């Protein structure tokens, strides 16, 4: 019997792991530079954390949560996103009493019962940040800047950064009433999904990809044209700060996002090189009421999340390679031609690894030609073949795989020279 992994999940190994580690490394370096520190929260929470946090009417809570009852009949849910958990953790551990804003990042798997397709899975990894405890437009700008910088550092070229403001609960409610009034007479032109969104989750109609709905939306009022004075000022200030640091953005008046907790600023980053519904690499927004709703103090926050698998998928499609500098330059492969030489080989292996040389050996004896091919295909720069002659004389011949030059050393007296030659780039 052969088992398959559950639909919408994947195993990761080989090249994929290198991409994942590269992305995580680049992100962590950048978070460090911007002074964000890591937080790790559980993979499951009490269901209410998400149903209240994300919103009962949102698609995630309605259709996509992995909810189960434990042996004591408690309702638990595998986290579908990171923000609600981080907010719960910040309040529970009273982290808000420290210097604000509290600048946090997380890296972890999320679970959503979605229809799997390319770039959309049921278990996926998100890298996200949350800046908690500031309502200054400068923190919005920093978070947006961080998101943009991350993709630039990864090597993406044609990035489009969408920003929009969906107002505070006050001006948004007034706007939604107006929007509903405008949509009711043309209800018949909307798709079934949008008809059911009307009145419950009206703003999400802007997310609809159906052509007739998009036509209807062209003629309705947009939220960013109907902000109260203070929300308007906040949004203008962010745009002006983004201009100051030279981050190019597009004010997308149709941008809305899937979580109910967002207020004011929302943003998304897409790659214009890819024409697909799954071209959103990441996004986020401000949440001014969530912490209070969760029983915490009245402090406002902002965050974003990017999808790891989707980013890697696009990196591969766009031909963005992991830079060579991330691969060890001195990778050395020792080819053992007979198990009788194991002790000699292990002496060499121990010395080289202790000296910081990335090396490996063939644990199964195979044809030398095949071993050299293997080394060439796996980024090895040096090869050391240990056959009868080398074993008897306690010698080492190092071959450089790029230049084909080679040199012979005595294992007994040339250890320093061996290290220097292995590290030599040629
Ligand atoms: P969201 O939390 O919905 O704002 O999504 C933020 C980012 O997470 C998206 O831009 C995607 O890159 C990624 N993402 C969201 N849902 C999925 C999914 N089902 N599968 C893979 N990546 C996802």
Instruction: Give yes or no for residue 124 CB within 6 A of ligand 1.
Output: yes
**Structure confidence at residue 325 (pLDDT):** 66
- Do residue 251 and residue 273 come from a single domain? yes
Label residue 59 by pLDDT band (50, 70, 90): confident
- Do residue 118 and residue 207 come from a single domain? no
Ligand 1: residue of 27, 112, 117, 305 to mutate (most ligand atoms within 8 A of CB) is 305
Instruction: Give yes or no for residue 269 CB within 6 A of ligand 1.
Output: no
Residue 189 counted as domain residue: yes
Q: Ligand 1 atom 13: the closest Cα is on which residue?
A: 307
- Do residue 71 and residue 144 come from a single domain? yes
Q: How many CA atoms lie within 13 A of 110 on its CB side?
A: 25
Give the Å distance between the CA of 217 and the centre of ligand 1: 24
- Do residue 145 and residue 287 come from a single domain? yes
Instruction: Give yes or no for residue 283 CB within 6 A of ligand 1.
Output: yes
Residue 263 counted as domain residue: yes
**Structure confidence at residue 273 (pLDDT):** 84
pLDDT at residue 274 is higher than 80: no
Find the CATH number of the domain harbouring 375.
3.40.50.800
- Do residue 219 and residue 238 come from a single domain? no
Mean pLDDT of 245-249: 94
Find the CATH number of the domain harbouring 96.
3.30.930.10
Instruction: Give yes or no for residue 296 CB within 6 A of ligand 1.
Output: no
- Do residue 64 and residue 33 come from a single domain? yes
- pLDDT tens-digit map of 185-224: 999 999 999 999 998 889 999 989 899 999 999 999 999 9
Residue 345 counted as domain residue: yes
H/E run at residue 47: helix 47-54
Structural domain total, the chain = 3
Burial (CB count within 10 angstroms: exposed 0-12, middle 13-18, buried 19+), residue 367:
exposed
How many helices (H) and strands (E) the chain has is answered by 15, 16
- Do residue 204 and residue 241 come from a single domain? no
Lookup: tokens for 20: 């994942």
Among 189, 204, 224, the domain boundary falls at: 224
Burial (CB count within 10 angstroms: exposed 0-12, middle 13-18, buried 19+), residue 186:
middle
Residue 3 counted as domain residue: no
Residue 145 counted as domain residue: yes
Ligand 1: residue of 143, 204, 267, 280 to mutate (most ligand atoms within 8 A of CB) is 280
- Do residue 66 and residue 105 come from a single domain? yes
Lookup: tokens for 118: 């390319």
pLDDT at residue 97 is higher than 90: no
- Do residue 161 and residue 181 come from a single domain? no
Distance CA 69, CA 92 (A): 23
pLDDT at residue 87 is higher than 70: yes
Residue 407 counted as domain residue: yes
Ligand 1: residue of 9, 20, 125, 126 to mutate (most ligand atoms within 8 A of CB) is 126
- Do residue 291 and residue 398 come from a single domain? no
Residue 306 counted as domain residue: yes
Among 224, 244, 269, the domain boundary falls at: 224
- Do residue 240 and residue 216 come from a single domain? no
Give the Å distance between the CA of 305 and the centre of ligand 1: 8
Residue 297 counted as domain residue: yes
- Do residue 262 and residue 282 come from a single domain? yes
Mean pLDDT of 373-389: 95
Ligand 1: atom nearest CA of 121 is 20
Lookup: tokens for 424: 């030599």
Q: Which structural domain range is residue 409 located in?
A: 329-423
């Amino acid at each position: 019997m052969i088992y398959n992994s559950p639909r919408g999940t994947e195993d990761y190994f080989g090249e994929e792991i290198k991409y994942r580690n590269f992305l995580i490394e680049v992100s962590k370096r950048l978070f460090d530079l911007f002074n964000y520190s890591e937080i790790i929260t559980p993979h499951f929470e009490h269901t209410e954390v998400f149903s209240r946090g994300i919103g009962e009417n949102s698609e995630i809570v309605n259709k996509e949560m992995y909810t189960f009852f434990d042996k004591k009949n408690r309702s638990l849910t595998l986290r579908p996103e990171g923000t609600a958990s981080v907010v719960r953790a910040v309040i529970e551990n009273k982290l808000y009493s420290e210097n604000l804003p509290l600048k946090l990042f997380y890296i972890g798997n999320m679970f959503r019962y979605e229809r799997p397709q390319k770039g959309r899975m049921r278990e996926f990894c998100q890298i996200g940040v949350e800046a908690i405890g500031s309502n200054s437009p400068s923190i919005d700008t920093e978070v947006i800047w961080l998101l943009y910088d991350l993709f630039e550092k990864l090597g993406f070229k044609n990035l489009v950064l969408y920003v929009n403001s969906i107002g505070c609960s006050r001006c948004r409610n007034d706007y939604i009433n107006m929007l509903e009034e405008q949509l009711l007479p043309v209800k018949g032109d909307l798709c079934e999904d949008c008809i059911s969104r009307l009145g419950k989750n009206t703003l999400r109609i802007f997310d609809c990809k159906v052509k007739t709905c998009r036509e209807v939306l062209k003629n309705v009022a947009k939220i960013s044209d109907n902000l109260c004075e203070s929300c308007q000022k906040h949004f203008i200030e962010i745009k002006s700060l983004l201009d100051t640091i030279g981050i190019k953005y597009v004010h997308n008046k149709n941008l809305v996002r899937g979580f109910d907790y967002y207020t004011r600023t929302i943003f998304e980053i897409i790659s214009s090189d890819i024409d697909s519904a799954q071209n959103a690499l990441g996004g986020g927004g401000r949440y001014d009421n969530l912490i209070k709703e969760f029983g915490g103090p009245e402090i406002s926050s902002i965050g974003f999340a990017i999808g790891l698998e989707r980013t890697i998928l696009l990196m591969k499609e766009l031909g963005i390679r992991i830079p060579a500098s991330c691969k060890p330059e001195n990778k050395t492969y020792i080819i053992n031609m007979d198990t009788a030489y194991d002790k000699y080989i292990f002496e060499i292996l121990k010395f080289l690894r202790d000296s910081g040389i990335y090396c490996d050996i063939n644990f199964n004896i195979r044809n030398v030609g095949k071993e050299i091919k293997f080394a060439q295909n796996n980024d090895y720069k040096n090869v050391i073949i240990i056959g009868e002659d080398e074993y008897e004389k306690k010698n080492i011949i190092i071959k450089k795989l790029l230049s084909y030059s080679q040199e012979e050393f005595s294992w007994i007296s040339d250890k320093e020279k061996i290290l220097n030659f292995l590290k030599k780039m040629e």
